[in-house]
Amino acid sequence: MQVIGGWQGESGGLLAPRELEGLLHCASGCTIKEAAKRMGISPETLKKRLDSARLKLKVANLRALVGEAFRRQIISPAATTLALIMAIHGMIDDNQVMRVRRGGNGGERKIETRVATRRAECAMAAA
């Protein structure tokens, strides 16, 4: 998995690693010239890589390439991953096992099961 400029991507074997890297740079708002400079290659080489990715996903232009990669879940905003990590961490951090509390009447015990589902929902809604 690669993360570049607020976007993450995993091609699942569909795109080559450098095609995915160039796509992530373009998805994050870089021009081809800026993305090529960050990748350490010429703009022409990056254009060839993006054309190859475009043909693999059967789209007409760079904007459509980014949209199709997003639709196929090849790329996604990195904030989604961050929200998911926070939600999972919150669920693990909370005591998920049964807790025994002392009740009010003569020491009777009350068993409470605590679920952090609401926290996960809030984290996902914030993303």
Residues 99-110: tens digit of each pLDDT: 555 555 554 444
| Lowest-confidence segment of 44-58, 61-75, 111-125 by average pLDDT | 111-125
The angle at the Cα of 92, spanning 88 to 97, to the nearest 5 degrees, equals 135
- pTM, two decimals, is 0.60
Decide if 109 contacts 101 (C-beta within 8 A).
yes
User: What's the burial of 65, exposed, middle or buried (CB within 10 Å: 0-12/13-18/19+)?
Assistant: buried
| Token pair 């605590």 in the structure block, residue | 114
- Sign of the Cα pseudo-torsion (23, 29, 35, 38, in order): negative
User: Could you give the C-alpha distances from 8 to 21, 72, 116, in angstroms and in order?
Assistant: 9, 13, 26
pLDDT of 10: 83
**pLDDT at 104 (0 to 100):** 53
Higher pLDDT, residue 86 or 26: 26
Domains of the chain (ranges; CATH) run: 2-77 (1.10.10.10), 79-126 (no CATH)
Nearest to 87 by CA among 120, 58, 113: 120
DSSP 115: -
What pLDDT does 36 receive?
Answer: 93
CA distance 60 to 97: 53
**Euclidean distance between CA atoms 118 and 55, whole angstroms:** 43
Distance CA(7)–CA(18), nearest Å, equals 15
Highest mean pLDDT among 1-5, 69-73, 92-96: 69-73
For residue 51, give the amino acid letter: D
